[in-house]
């Protein structure tokens, strides 16, 4: 194709966009949407001016009020205001990486009743195999392969963030390197997916993960059924906290992602930051600086020793969290998503003790 020279290419591109004019109504439509965001951010609605003594009752009856400010509130450790006990962790949590044999021994030695959906990071290869599984009347769960060097069968994730993840886990490219494996209560070892390394290590700092996610945003990536495009798995060393549940917040229209709508909003933060502050009769909640918005109820589900103060403020908890990054997100569907990024918390990665080889 020698006839597509620079000048002709430019002429075509000029033609495509050059003569178009935006509709006159466009600035007004933008103003309307921006204006509604501005109101959400700054207006302390009368209903929010509750007496603190009424908060518990009001929260039980209808959720809790939120006023947006511009940043989170760093907690003075170890004894912050409001009686919060943020867990000071002078020693960063360490991730246990098991080899295939150690993991197989752990599986063999631990009764299924004690598995409790724990997730382990295993540096091993998973060899995929074709299995003949029943499809009548409904498709039955079917293993996807086995842990190399062992006879341990590996099954697809039974609780994927998205169904597409199951398919992704079947792709050969997903099978190298450290894997997040769940000891599911069903008695199956499930593959959640490959965990991305950072400079040879497994645990990421929050800001490094955010930088990576932003880089991934510039690449082409498939979009999921809710308009959400998920990215790789990360193990991140961060604090998990929840905002006080809002009394009132406008549910995003046609919310594509209910877990990111109104409710007990969760954040991963680089430090112990409390998103909600009570000042006299008014509650302020802010998106913490440098935070990653995670799904509602993540704090209750995954924070170690999740606990609320008498003011119903969540105490930030530091741990290693396994998260599925979100590359693209329909922002209009997301409440308090002015964070640096978004992710699903999939599990908490706790230390795992394995008996030495040869020991019973």
Partner 1 sequence: MKLELVEAARRGDLEAFDALVRQEVRGVYRTALAILGSERDAEEATQDAFVSAWRSFPRLRDPDRFDAWLGRIVVNACRMTLRRRRSIREISFDDRPSGSNDPAALDPTVLAAEADAFDRAFERLTVDERALLVLHYRDELGLREIADRLGVREGTVKSRLWRARRSLEAALAEERRP
Identify the H or E element spanning 190: strand 189-194
Give the nearest distance from C-beta 12 to partner 1 in angstroms.
5
Q: Does 340 bind partner 1 (CB under 8 A)?
A: yes
Nearer to partner 1, 35 or 355 (CB): 35
Q: What CA–CA distance (Å, rounded) separates 121 from 182?
A: 9
C-alpha 86/C-alpha 80 separation (Å) is: 8
Nearest CA to 63 among 239, 251, 240, 274?
251
How far, in whole angstroms, is CA 174 from its chain's centroid? 20
Q: Which of 14, 163, 167, 176 binds partner 1 (CB under 8 A)?
A: 14
250 lines the binding site for partner 1 (CB under 8 A):
no
Stretch that binds partner 1, among 3-11, 77-85, 137-145, 230-238 (CB under 8 A): 3-11
Please state the closest distance from residue 280 (CB atom) to partner 1, in A.
Answer: 23
Question: DSSP secondary-structure letter at 356?
Answer: P
Q: Measured from the CB of residue 252, what is the shortest distance to partner 1 in angstroms?
A: 13
- Tokens matching residue 112: 């299924």
Q: Please report whether residue 12 would count as binding partner 1 according to CB under 8 A.
A: yes
**Residue 129 near partner 1 by CB under 8 A:** no
CA-wise closest residue to 192 among 280, 248, 122, 250: 122
Is 41 a binding residue for partner 1 by CB under 8 A? The answer is: yes
Q: Which two tokens stand for residue 199?
A: 């400079």
Q: Collapsing DSSP states into helix, strand and coil, what is residue 322? A: strand
Query: Of 165-224, which residues contact partner 1 (CB under 8 A)?
Result: 214-215, 217-220, 223
Tell me how far apart the alpha carbons of residues 209 and 200 are, in angstroms, rounded to a whole number.
Answer: 14
SS3 169: helix
Contact with partner 1 (CB under 8 A): which of 111, 328, 336, 343? 328
Binding mask 276-315 for partner 1 (x = CB under 8 A): ----------------------------------------
- In the 8-state DSSP scheme, what is residue 180? E
**Binding region for partner 1 (CB under 8 A):** 1, 4, 6-23, 26-27, 29-31, 33-35, 37-38, 41-42, 70, 214-215, 217-220, 223, 227, 229, 328, 330-332, 338, 340
């Amino acid at each position: 194709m020698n006839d597509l020279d620079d000048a002709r290419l430019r002429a075509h591109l000029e033609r495509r966009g050059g003569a178009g004019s935006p509709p006159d109504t466009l600035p007004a439509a933008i103003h309307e949407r921006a204006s509604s965001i501005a109101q959400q951010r700054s207006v302390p609605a009368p209903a929010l001016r509750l007496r603190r003594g009424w908060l518990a009752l009001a929260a039980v009856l209808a959720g809790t009020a939120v006023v947006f400010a511009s940043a989170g509130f760093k907690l003075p450790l170890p004894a912050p205001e409001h009686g919060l006990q943020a867990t000071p962790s002078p020693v960063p949590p360490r991730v246990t990486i098991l080899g295939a044999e150690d993991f197989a021994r752990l599986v063999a030695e631990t009764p299924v009743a004690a598995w409790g959906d724990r997730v382990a990071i295993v540096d091993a290869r998973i060899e995929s195999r074709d299995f003949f599984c029943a499809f009548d009347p409904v498709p039955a769960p079917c293993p996807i392969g086995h842990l190399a060097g062992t006879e341990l069968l590996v099954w697809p994730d039974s609780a994927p963030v998205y169904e597409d993840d199951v398919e992704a886990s079947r792709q050969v490219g997903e099978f190298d390197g450290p894997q997040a494996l769940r000891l599911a209560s069903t008695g199956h070892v499930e593959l959640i997916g490959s965990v991305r390394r950072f400079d040879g290590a497994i645990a990421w700092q929050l800001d490094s993960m955010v930088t990576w996610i932003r880089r991934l945003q510039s690449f082409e990536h498939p979009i999921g059924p809710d308009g959400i495009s998920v990215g790789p798995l990360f193990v991140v060393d961060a604090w998990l906290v929840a905002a006080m549940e809002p009394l009132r917040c406008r549910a995003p229209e046609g919310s594509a992602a209910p877990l990111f709508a109104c409710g007990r909003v969760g954040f991963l933060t680089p430090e112990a930051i409390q998103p909600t502050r009570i000042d006299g009769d008014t509650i302020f909640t802010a998106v913490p600086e440098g935070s990653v918005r995670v799904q509602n109820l993540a704090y209750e589900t995954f924070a170690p020793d999740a606990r609320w103060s008498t003011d119903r403020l969540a105490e930030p908890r530091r741990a290693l969290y396994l998260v599925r990054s979100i590359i693209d997100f329909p922002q209009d569907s997301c409440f308090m998503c002015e964070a640096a990024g978004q992710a699903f918390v999939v599990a908490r990665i706790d230390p795992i003790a394995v008996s030495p080889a040869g020991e019973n």
